[in-house]
């Protein structure tokens, strides 16, 4: 059975590592309206519906953390992982209750699952953390792990029409189109993370905010084919890509995966797209 039907989970926060953690924490604290504290040499930044932990290290993502709805759902997920032989490691995360754990995929990429210490609530400028995306050199193996072992569900695939090769896979862990996705690429790296706001006017307001900060949009505004969400992207001081989105599709548990051609229209139906290589 899938996470969507038995143990729904939402992306709750990210643990980002940075060679300049103080500067990165200032960026997210000031520009994403997060309240910061320093706990055990980690910057812990909390908002109503978005949060991030930042610590020293190479620029990148240590792990995304998913929050289950309750202890019963977390137990169901843990039992599924145990049946499938997936090793779980206890983890001390400042935003999750004791009992949270991490797992590693075939490439060593970590994801964390647990129960949130504080329930989400509204932010003055809406934009809840909603999904994260990676590039991978082993797309097929990684997708099999997250679907067959963990319980994510494929919402959409993007296919190279010449070769028939799958290039992008969007995975859901609840009713929303994707909370995790993978692009086939020449590198193994964090691609971007996304905040889902309420409507087009909120995207306008976020665009105006970044404009006042002289942070230019590098991709968008536009609309993705898979997920049907409006979006634009900027970068933080470390070069990590940050997306603001709205209107992401909801998908029924029994829906068949969609199939899209790998072209600019699929990635941005409004115009030019950023094609990973």
Would you give the distance in Å from CA 140 to the centre of its chain? Answer: 19
> Whole-model pTM above 0.85?
yes
How far from each other are the two terminal CA atoms of the chain, in whole angstroms?
A: 34
Q: Where are the beta strands (DSSP E) in 47-152?
A: 51-56, 60-68, 89-90, 101-104, 110-114, 128-136
pLDDT by residue for the chain (277 residues), tens only, comes to: 899 999 999 999 999 999 999 999 999 999 999 999 999 999 999 999 999 999 999 999 999 999 999 999 999 999 999 999 999 999 999 999 999 999 999 999 999 999 999 999 999 999 999 999 999 999 999 999 999 999 999 999 999 999 999 999 999 999 999 999 999 999 999 999 999 999 999 999 999 999 999 999 999 999 999 999 999 999 999 999 999 999 999 999 999 999 999 999 999 999 988 888 7
- Position 72 scores a pLDDT of 97
- Report how far apart, in Å, the C-alpha atoms of 222 and of each of 55, 203, 215, 219 are: 33, 11, 18, 8
- Position 276 scores a pLDDT of 83
Would you give the distance in Å from CA 92 to the centre of its chain? Answer: 20
Quickly count: other Cβ atoms within 10 Å of residue 191's Cβ: 20
Distance CA(150)–CA(1), nearest Å, equals 10
**Residue 8 near residue 66 (C-beta atoms within 8 A):** no
Distance CA(223)–CA(25), nearest Å, equals 30
- Position 275 scores a pLDDT of 83
**55-81: b (≥16 Cβ within 10 Å) or e:** beeebebbbbbbbbeeeebbebbbebb
Domains and CATH numbers, the chain: 3-114 (3.10.180.10), 128-267 (3.10.180.10)
**Residue 66 near residue 113 (C-beta atoms within 8 A):** yes
Cβ contacts of residue 113 below 8 Å, gap of 6+?
9, 65, 66, 68, 74, 77, 78, 100, 101, 102, 103
Q: Which pairing describes strands 219-223 and 230-235: parallel, antiparallel, or unpaired? A: antiparallel
Q: Where are the beta strands (DSSP E) in 50-172?
A: 51-56, 60-68, 89-90, 101-104, 110-114, 128-136, 153-159, 166-172
Strand order across the beta sheet in which 110-114 lies: 35-39, 42-46, 51-56, 9-18, 60-68, 110-114, 101-104, 89-90
Tokens linked to 101: 């754990």
- Position 134 scores a pLDDT of 98
């Amino acid at each position: 059975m899938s996470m969507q039907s038995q143990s729904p989970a939402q992306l709750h926060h990210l643990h980002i590592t940075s060679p300049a953690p103080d500067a990165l924490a200032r960026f997210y604290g000031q520009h994403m309206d997060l309240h910061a504290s320093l706990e055990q040499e980690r910057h812990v930044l909390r908002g109503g519906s978005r949060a991030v932990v930042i610590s020293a290290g190479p620029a990148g993502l240590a792990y995304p953390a998913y929050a289950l709805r309750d202890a019963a759902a977390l137990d169901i997920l843990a039992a599924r992982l145990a049946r499938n032989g997936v090793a779980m490691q206890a983890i001390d995360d400042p935003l999750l209750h004791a009992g949270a754990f991490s797992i590693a995929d075939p490439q060593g990429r970590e994801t964390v699952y647990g129960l949130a210490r504080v329930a989400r609530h509204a932010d003055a400028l809406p934009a809840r953390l909603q999904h994260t995306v990676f590039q991978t050199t082993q797309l097929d193996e990684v997708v099999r792990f997250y679907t067959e072992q963990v319980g994510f569900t494929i919402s959409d695939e993007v296919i190279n029409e010449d070769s028939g090769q799958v290039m992008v896979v969007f995975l859901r862990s609840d009713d929303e189109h994707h909370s995790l996705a993978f692009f086939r690429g020449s590198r193994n790296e964090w691609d971007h993370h996304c905040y889902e706001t309420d409507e087009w006017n909120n995207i306008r307001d976020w665009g105006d905010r970044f404009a006042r900060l002289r942070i230019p949009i590098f991709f968008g505004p536009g609309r993705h084919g898979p997920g049907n969400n409006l979006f634009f992207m900027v970068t933080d001081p470390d070069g990590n890509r940050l997306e603001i989105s709205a209107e992401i599709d909801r998908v029924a548990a029994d829906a068949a995966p969609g199939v899209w051609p790998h072209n600019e229209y699929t990635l941005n139906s409004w115009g030019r797209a950023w094609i990973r290589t």
